[in-house]
Chains A and B, each alone.
Chain A
Amino acid sequence: MAAVMPVPAASRVLLSGNEAVARAVWEAGVKVAAAYPGTPSTEMLEVISSYPDIYSEWSVNEKVSLEVAIGAAYAGSRSFCCMKHVGMNVASDALMTLTLTGVIGGLVIAIADDVGLSSSQNEQDSRYWGRFAHVPVLEPADSQEAYEMTLYGYELSERFQVPVILRMTTRINHVKALVTVGERSTRPAAGFKKDPARWVMTPGGAGKRIPLIFARDAELRREAELSALNVIEPGSDRRVGFIASGPAYMHVKESFPDAPVLKLGFSCPLPFDKCRELGEMVDRVVVVEEVEPLVETELKAQGISVVGKEILPQQGELAPNVLRPAIARLLGENLPESRSTAAMPVFPRPPTMCVACPHLGVYYTLSQVRNLTISGDIGCYTLGAGHPWNALDTCISMGASMGIALGLDKGRGEADKDKRIVAVIGDSTFLHMGMQGLLDMVYNKGNVTVLLLDNRTVGMTGGQDNPGSGRDIHGVDAPRVDFPKLVESLGVKPERIHKVNPYELPVLFKTIRDEVKVPEVSVIITDQPCVLIEDYHKLKPYAVIEDKCTGCGNCLDVGCPAIHVTRRGKEVKASGREVDLAFVRIESSVCTGCGLCVQPCAPDAIQHHVPVSPLIQLVKGGCNA
């Protein structure tokens, strides 16, 4: 996290889009900022939390974060809320009625679209929310613009009493570029004024406000037509003119420096007249937008002739290596012969769980229990779907492991009658959106074993605090949720709730095996911290005694990245079956002594091994639960 705060006004500094927005939020005099972590949006609130003048919080989910920001804006303070694209799906219930009440204090909602799916389960275009909710959308093309548009967003929000969406993409959030920063200005909060017709949205009241949003749309469109954020840059090559926004604008300028471009910074409502004006200047107009053809579709509906997704992909980034050949084809030109850009074949290197990760024990165990259908969720533990565990069967959205598990149970056919349904969810995801699913599961008498992996942090996004960690956004002590009590209060029977150390494989194995047999809801809570947070304490590393290693490869099934193969071999069993052998070593410089690999090691070849209980034999051999 960059220390933005000490940077004096008028300095030119290297900032990511996220850091630039955070700086602007501070300069805008924002009083309240709330978010739930999500790549690539997380650093905005992390940096904001370093400013003591702003109240900031990790909220339990995006909907709550938006509601906190709405409350502050109702009170007349400037507020800020940020999330990744899928977060707005969660928050949208609040957004869709917020548009009717509007705001008093400025409210900017930064939404980070993961164009190219670097770290997400889908690829969405958040510009739709502007159309859907009738609120303006600003689209920065680099860090400087992210900074400036955030400041402008507050002016716009207050002038029209409307929340403003700042639509970012990974290629804005995580790109570092030079930004000239300014000074902070503050303003007194207007104070909350009771006005039920405005703030209490009942059918009668809301109905009266709906026409207002259409009138506001028209005013905002006039604003967009006049806005300096929507500017035509006349070029010398009039064969193709481009309409582009966000990072796609930079890619267009890079690829076609002589072409006329309408740069859209204030892209919703769309300035139709400006688009027509560009059309009159050039032979044809190409709309370059990531991801969906929103601008293109609206212009075509207006009878404005443009080309878009007929020639450009509706997925991923529109970088120069995508744009150049597409436009050359449109113009019937041959691309100049370029250097071969085929990549050399190299093995894939998918993300893995960390050395000694407490999830390793869970997935190793799940991979050894047969007949399970495992409903997964969003977090580091989604990696359990990969090798060597292959122990996660579904993943769609935050908290979905609960409902999907119940549905798998209730909807099971004859073929699945002996299947045991397991749901795996992390602490933060459970608190985000999993609790309601568990409540539903208990209330509707499901037959599901829930594994609640409590590692006391939001791991995948870099270790943020949450109500399960017992610390707030500043690392200060905060009330810590008691998971066993929480799930008991949701109706899980006390005898079906188990707290287990995930490094104790025999206990974990026995608990899972026993609970999946019980035809009701069980919750098994693992209680060891993420290895990347300060709560984790390293132990003495292990090493493999070379002479003792038989090459069985059991330890590799744990999936710890500290275990490496030194040589391979083959062995013919008495049955005549040939088996592969893999002799191993442990990279002691990274081993933290968790002892997971020691437990399945048949010949006790791993030093400092813990006493082996007979249950380990069960773990090694697998078992029909």
Chain B
Amino acid sequence: MNGTTNILVVGIGGQGVMTATEILAEAAIAMGHDAKKTEVAGMAQRGGVVSSHLRFGPKVLSPQITPGTADVLLGFESAEAMRWQHMLKAGGITLMNTARLVPPVVELGLFDYPDDPLAEIRKTGNKVVAFDATTIALDLGDIRLGNTVMLGAIADHLPFAADVLMDCVLKRFQKKGEKMVDLNRRAFEAGRSAVGAAAAALA
């Protein structure tokens, strides 16, 4: 699409989806791209569905990704990664956190949460790599590192070097001291390697 890259980041309100997409946008801009970022968020602060669109390239017109044209889908939550599969282009890839966040309508027994979202996605024939960002973050000592793990996960699926994205992530933590920068660097690398081996096997 005229050299435009389409990245779709999905999850639920409060997970940090919009911030993650903004950091991705900053990285694209650092590479000299034009970029637009937009959300379908609804009343997102209340635990609803969030899908954040990032488009970058020489010149971006419409901010929205047209269904069937996303290059990469970064899923912060399993069922949400499944919900947005139709946005991917043929040959696009899903990078998904295995976290399951079950909403009250499911707890009330009104709807079912899919038993195995990963298997459902595989059935479509789309490429998918799943990893447990929450456990990776907890192993590093802080659940809040999850978002950095997610960004590390997508780092090798962008049309520019992973370091560009990592610099943008770490810049956000500079004010919090060297220790935080270092922790986030490790989280970023952990996300990268969690995806790396599996994605290589798919290719």
Contact = CB atoms under 8 A, between A and B. Distances in A.
B153 to A, nearest CB: 21
Interface in B55-79: 60-64, 66-68, 79
Interface in A350-364: 350-354
A352 B104 contact: yes
8 contacts: A118-B43, A176-B37, A343-B84, A346-B114, A349-B80, A349-B105, A350-B105, A352-B104
A174 to B, nearest CB: 6
B42 A119 contact: yes
Contacts of B82: 344, 346
Contacts of B47: 349, 351-352, 354, 561
Given A351-B13, A352-B46, A387-B105, 9 more contacts: A118-B43, A142-B36, A177-B36, A177-B60, A321-B67, A344-B120, A351-B43, A354-B47, A387-B110
Nearest to B105: A387
B177 interface: no
Contacts of A232: none
Interface in A515-574: 532, 556, 559-561, 563-565, 568
A347 B113 contact: yes
A350 B48 contact: yes
Tell me what chain A mostly uses at the interface: helix, strand, loop, or mixed. loop
Contacts of A320: 62, 64, 66
Interface stretch (B85-93, B157-165, B186-194, B195-203): B85-93
A348 B63 contact: no
B98 to A, nearest CB: 16
B170 interface: no
Interface in A167-201: 171, 174-178
A351 B143 CA distance: 24
A254 interface: yes
Nearest to A382: B43
Contact of B107 (A118, A253, A582): A582
A557 to B, nearest CB: 9
Given A254-B62, A344-B124, A568 B109 contact: yes
Interface string A328-344: 00000000001111111
Nearest to B100: A564
A514 interface: no
Contacts of B49: 349
A319 interface: yes
Interface string B40-56: 11111111110000000
B104 A561 contact: yes
A344 B107 contact: no
A211 interface: no
Q: How large is the interface on A (under 10, 10 to 19, 20 to 34, 35 or more residues)?
A: 35 or more
Contact of B64 (A319, A342, A349): A319
A127 interface: no
A383 B46 CA distance: 10
B102 interface: yes
Contact of A175 (B36, B85, B108, B124): B36
A247 to B, nearest CB: 8
Interface in A365-393: 380, 383, 387-388
A14 interface: yes
Interface of A: 14, 39, 118-119, 142, 171, 174-178, 247, 250-251, 253-255, 257, 317, 319-321, 338-344, 346-354, 380, 383, 387-388, 460, 462, 532, 556, 559-561, 563-565, 568, 580, 582, 584, 589
A119 B43 contact: yes
Given A351-B47, A380-B46, A460-B43, A178 B104 contact: no
B61 A250 contact: yes
A319 B46 contact: no
B106 A347 contact: yes
B132 interface: no
Nearest to B33: A178
Contacts, number: 158
B156 interface: no
B107 A565 contact: yes
A410 B112 CA distance: 43
Contact of B83 (A142, A344, A568): A344
B46 A387 contact: no
Q: How large is the interface on B (under 10, 10 to 19, 20 to 34, 35 or more residues)?
A: 35 or more
Contact of A118 (B40, B60, B80, B106): B40
B8 interface: no
Please name the 10 residue pairs, one residue from A and one from B, whose CB atoms are nearest each other, closest first: A351-B46, A347-B111, A341-B67, A254-B62, A351-B48, A351-B43, A339-B68, A254-B61, A346-B83, A175-B38
Contacts of B48: 349-352
Most chain-B Cβ atoms within 10 A of its Cβ — which of A174, A255, A317, A340?
A: A174
Given A118-B41, A176-B25, A388-B104, A346 B35 contact: no
A343 B85 CA distance: 7
Query: Which has the most chain A C-beta neighbours within 10 Å: B35, B68, B103?
Result: B103
- Which of B41, B48, B64, B82 has the largest count of A CB atoms less than 10 A from its CB? B64
A119 to B, nearest CB: 5
Contacts of A353: 46
A176 B89 CA distance: 24
Contact of A347 (B34, B35, B41, B112): B112
Contact of A14 (B26, B62, B104): B26
A342 B67 CA distance: 9
B126 to A, nearest CB: 10
B107 to A, nearest CB: 5
A596 to B, nearest CB: 14
A580 B109 CA distance: 10
B63 A175 contact: yes
Given A118-B41, A178-B34, A561 B114 contact: no
B31 interface: no
B86 A344 contact: yes
B35 A339 contact: no
A590 to B, nearest CB: 10
A346 B36 contact: no
Contacts of B64: 171, 251, 317, 319-320
B166 to A, nearest CB: 18
Given A175-B38, A176-B22, A344-B83, A387 B108 contact: yes
A178 B29 contact: yes
A319 B84 CA distance: 17
Contacts of B108: 387-388, 556
A388 B107 CA distance: 10
A178 B83 contact: no
B149 interface: no
A117 B124 CA distance: 31
Contact of A387 (B25, B38, B104): B104
A358 B111 CA distance: 26
A177 B35 contact: yes
A14 B68 contact: no
Contact of A346 (B26, B37, B79): B79
Contacts of B143: 589
A342 B83 CA distance: 10
Nearest to A341: B67
A352 B109 CA distance: 16
A351 B41 CA distance: 10
B12 interface: yes
Contacts of A346: 79-80, 82-83, 114
